[in-house]
Structure 1
């Protein structure tokens, strides 16, 4: 990133205008890759119970660069110790810059601050880029990677968070 561009992390609500373009683009991607109607995908993303991604159990984070939302993601409570990541997305105009990895790191840090010790997520069988991202970020595949992706269906992953020692 050039020194003149500023990247900030913002916690937002699902209906925040900063989340809207990312959710719309994600709906386009899902509808294209999985051959489902855009309207169905968009409605599913925007009508999800927004309290699931709100404190104290969840969060929705957006990376903003020079006022423009460029990437984002969310988590919700999966169980008492586990946060489930959802909606991780980088705008098609801002890919190949490591923003997805930044989103993961920010979500992991926020989840750890909330007391979670494990992350769980699933990604679709037609999203090899996401599979590669999670493996590169230290996630463990909870499926047999030797099987064809279509046979597996949703690809589950987990990662145990390392607790940071308290400063003296």
Structure 2
């Protein structure tokens, strides 16, 4: 699915709100950054967007792109604020991993921000290996990198 698709727009709009509230940039500025990201990065065969629908409305989603020949990078993992705590992010991760596996990737790489403890907990619970000191202050690290081997 293309990042300008109407079903992806709520994902990007709410991500802009989330990121701006946590990191201080204006919502409009963050939204423009998300919209202006090269769409080809998330296009098949190297990448894709996934959106979970409920009653025809997007409730969760995410994307992946090529990081290197063997590695997919997850981006834009999102759950609508009214639908959190239902396991949707776990489902999105599983679907993105499965699709990356089908496309021949051997591992997943991702980063999350230091002010997103929920995301950090999600990735650790889903079997991702932190590539940073878990005891360190996340603010001292910057983006928090994670990696996971796929079961191919």
TM-score by length of 1: 0.90
Match of 1:63 in 2: 52
For residues 110-152 of structure 1, the C-alpha deviation after alignment (integer angstroms, 9 at most, x for no partner) is: 0000000010000000000000000000000000011111001
Map Cα deviations across residues 76-109 of structure 1 (whole Å, 9 max, x no partner).
Answer: 0000000000000000000000000000000000
Q: Larger radius of gyration, structure 1 or 2?
A: 1
Question: Residues 36-75 of structure 1 correspond to what in structure 2 (within 5 A)?
Answer: 36-75=25-64
Structure 2 distance, partners of 1:68, 1:59, is 19
Deviation at 1:39, TM superposition (A): 1.4
**Structure 1 Cα separation of the partners of residues 27 and 115 of structure 2:** 16
1:157 equivalent among 136, 143, 146: 146
Residues 1:85 and 2:74 are matched in the alignment: yes
Q: Residues of 1 paired with 2:114 and 2:53: CA distance?
A: 29
Residue 74 of structure 1 aligns to a residue in which SS?
strand
Q: Paired residue for 1:120? A: 109
Cα distance in 1 for partners of 2:122, 2:35 equals 25
Structure 1: distance between partners of 2:133 and 2:87: 27
Q: Which of 119, 127, 134 matches 1:130?
A: 119
Q: Partner of 1:33 in structure 2?
A: 22
Q: What CA distance in whole angstroms lies between the structure 2 residues aligned with 1:79 and 1:40?
A: 29
By percentage of residues, which structure has more helix? 2
Q: How many residues align?
A: 152
Q: How many Å separate the matches in 1 of 2:80 and 2:56?
A: 14
Asked if residue 141 in structure 1 is aligned to residue 137 in structure 2, the reply is no
